[in-house]
Amino acid sequence: MYVVLVYDMRAERTGRMLRLCRRYLTHVQNSVLEGEISKGDLERLRGEIEDTLEPGESTIIYELSSDTLLDRTVYGEDPTEDSRFL
């Protein structure tokens, strides 16, 4: 399936969540990752996220069947097009 993941962490802890999520997904914007993921990997990722989050922090995972994302449009600068997030 295809997932879009958005996290909201305390500023000094964003790097930790980003490193975790990047093992499974592609970083597309400041606190947003997306990509194809297997059910098994998604379960692992969910568990690791729950272990990582502290009070006041949150993560939303949108699960989509792969063929139902109608469109994805980036306005402004597309961070995936430059080296900002490499």
Using the minimum distance from each CB to a second copy, give the nearer residue, 12 or 71. Answer: 71
Contact status: 68 vs a second copy (CB under 8 A): yes
Contact status: 33 vs a second copy (CB under 8 A): no
Residue 7, classified by CB atoms within 10 Å of its CB into exposed (0-12), middle (13-18) or buried (19+), is buried
- The residue from 31, 35, 41, 44 that contacts a second copy (CB under 8 A) is 31
- The whole-angstrom separation of Cα 27 and Cα 14 is 13
Using the minimum distance from each CB to a second copy, give the nearer residue, 73 or 83. Answer: 73
* Residues placed in the known binding site: 8
